[in-house]
Amino acid sequence: MLIRRCAVLLLEPREETQFHLEQLLRGGDGLVRTLRCMALAPHLEAPIELDQEASAWLATLSPNVWIRLEPGSHQEELALPLVQAGLLVSKDDDDSDLARRDTRLRTVYWHPLAAVMHAFSRWDGVDAVRNMQESETETAEQMRQTLGEPPPEAKVMSLKGASTVLPEVDGNAFDALLSRRVTCRNFDPMRPVPLNMFAQMLQRTFGSRTRFKVGEDLVFLKKNVPSGGGLHPIEAYLVVQNVEGLDPGLYHYRGDTHELERLPSDVAIDRDFVMELVGQQHWFADAHVLVVLAPRFERTFWKYRQHAKSYRVVAMEAGHLSQTLYLAATDAGLGAFITAAINEKHAERALKLDTIAEGVLAVCGFGWRAGSMTTTELDPAGVIWHPAPA
Ligand SMILES: Cc1cc2nc3c(=O)[nH]c(=O)nc-3n(C[C@H](O)[C@H](O)[C@H](O)COP(=O)(O)O)c2cc1C
């Protein structure tokens, strides 16, 4: 059998702690600690536990050079379960699903640490609201109680005589717009967003102003947001819930042509779907439009190959898009939000993403604010909820 190691593999010694009453009664601290060796390979769905022999052997194998294992040898015996798990690739079986995912990973140029981080920070079936309740971190008072003293809200350098009080500058319309930007957690499901307003939101946030071509097939888009290398890898997939003239459902926005593409879906795009998408945060589920920010990592990694900064660059771009969406919504009189507490795998399945080359980083949304606040919004100055009479 000819084998080689999978392309990317991180071996993590992971300690797990469990409470054991017996251990406490025997005079210990009640905690039993177990050290396990976990294999983290980003083309696989989950970490795999290894014994010492397998982990030590894997660490000696090349991801590039094929080696021959003698039939009936101890090494072949060791290799078989590792091939089945996808940690080793067998040349005889390089058409299996896992082997194909491994090959795909080699062509997308992930930085290995970023690939592992991305693969194993995705959620599936997580209820973020219940998690906050169970960890007693739901309200600010609870957080203080549970988590103890927080780091200060601002850093003070305490450099005597070295600070300059800067002039207060009079605000203009842009400052007023910025101060009206408040994350919206209360949407009005009774009032649809007009199509023109929806179109303007997408055009301003995700649309392309110009395209230009270099040579045969290298095309750059000029957009309202910055992008590392000008490559604009992040796609906008929309869950349209309440827009005049549009059927509710899944769409893809083409920023280069300002077109909306209706996506076929095997699953019902209903409230359950949306609740699962936003980790059961019911306060976002009534948003008129939710936008799944889904990078095509391969577009950025094509230039920044196995680069230590490339994943960071793409993640920052999601922030730029979100801020632009917030400001465009605020300008239109709408509310907006972003959340990273999302079930990425649920979105990947619905959107049929190639999860080696594409992924989901966050979900944003926008729509009309409700007339009253049921879920708390951070508006201590009362700019949105108690505006001063004109
Ligand atoms: C990257 C990111 C992730 C966020 N995730 C959540 C979230 O999961 N749930 C939520 O209710 N708000 C989320 N927020 C919104 C913040 O809670 C909000 O920005 C913060 O409370 C400050 O309020 P403001 O946006 O109104 O100024 C997120 C914000 C950012 C920038």
**Mean pLDDT in the chain?**
96
Q: What is the mean pLDDT of residues 182-208?
A: 98
Gyration radius (Cα) of the chain, Å: 25
**What local confidence, expressed as pLDDT, does residue 390 receive?**
65
In terms of domains, do 70 and 95 share one?
yes
The domain boundary residue, chosen from 67, 93, 108: 108
In terms of domains, do 261 and 385 share one?
yes
CATH of the domain at 275: 3.40.109.10
Percent of the chain with pLDDT over 70: 99
- Its domain, for residue 88, covers 2-108
| 210 and 221 Cβ atoms separated by less than 8 Å | yes
**Residues facing 38 on adjacent strands:** 12, 49
pLDDT confidence of 180, banded at 50, 70, 90?
Answer: very high
Task: Give the tens place of pLDDT for each residue, 59-77.
Answer: 999 999 999 999 999 999 9
Place of tokens 């649809």: 192
**What local confidence, expressed as pLDDT, does residue 324 receive?**
98
The domain boundary residue, chosen from 108, 126, 159: 108
Tell me the angle at which helices 112-119 and 310-332 cross, rounded to the nearest 10 degrees.
Answer: 50
Q: Say if ligand 1 is within 6 A of residue 340 CB.
A: yes
Percent of the chain with pLDDT over 90: 90
**Is residue 164 in some structural domain?**
no
For the purposes of burial, counting CB atoms within 10 Å of the CB of 11, is it exposed (0-12), middle (13-18) or buried (19 or more)?
middle
Task: Give the tens place of pLDDT for each residue, 97-134.
Answer: 999 999 999 999 999 999 999 999 999 999 999 999 99
Per-residue pLDDT at 360 exceeds 90: yes
Q: Say if ligand 1 is within 6 A of residue 129 CB.
A: no
Question: Which residue of 338, 363, 373 sits with most ligand 1 atoms within 8 Å of its CB, as the best mutation to test the pocket?
Answer: 338
**Is residue 263 in some structural domain?**
yes
**Is residue 140 in some structural domain?**
no
In terms of domains, do 23 and 84 share one?
yes
| Nearest atom of ligand 1 to the alpha carbon of 181 | 26
| 205 and 321 Cβ atoms separated by less than 8 Å | yes
**What local confidence, expressed as pLDDT, does residue 159 receive?**
79
Phi, psi angle pair for 126, to nearest 5°: -85, 135
Cα–Cα nearest to 205, from 223, 189, 191, 231: 223
Q: Write down the pTM of the prediction.
A: 0.95
In terms of domains, do 222 and 187 share one?
yes
**Is residue 170 in some structural domain?**
no
In terms of domains, do 82 and 216 share one?
no
Per the structure, the count of domains in the chain is: 2
CA of 364 to the centre of ligand 1 (A): 10
| Nearest atom of ligand 1 to the alpha carbon of 342 | 8
Structure tokens at 133: 């309740």
**Is residue 121 in some structural domain?**
yes
In terms of domains, do 25 and 125 share one?
no
| 96 and 85 Cβ atoms separated by less than 8 Å | no
| 276 and 353 Cβ atoms separated by less than 8 Å | no
pLDDT confidence of 163, banded at 50, 70, 90?
Answer: confident
**Is residue 303 in some structural domain?**
yes
**What local confidence, expressed as pLDDT, does residue 194 receive?**
98
In terms of domains, do 264 and 293 share one?
yes
**Is residue 143 in some structural domain?**
no
Phi, psi angle pair for 141, to nearest 5°: -65, -45
CA of 238 to the centre of ligand 1 (A): 20
**Is residue 317 in some structural domain?**
yes
Phi, psi angle pair for 355, to nearest 5°: -75, -5
In terms of domains, do 104 and 115 share one?
no
Q: Say if ligand 1 is within 6 A of residue 199 CB.
A: no
Looking at the chain, list the stretches that DSSP marks H as alpha helix, in order from N- to C-terminal side: 21-25, 52-58, 74-85, 97-108, 112-119, 128-134, 140-147, 173-179, 195-206, 271-277, 282-285, 297-303, 310-332, 344-351
Per-residue pLDDT at 169 exceeds 80: yes
Task: Give the tens place of pLDDT for each residue, 210-242.
Answer: 999 999 999 999 999 999 999 999 999 999 999
In terms of domains, do 74 and 210 share one?
no
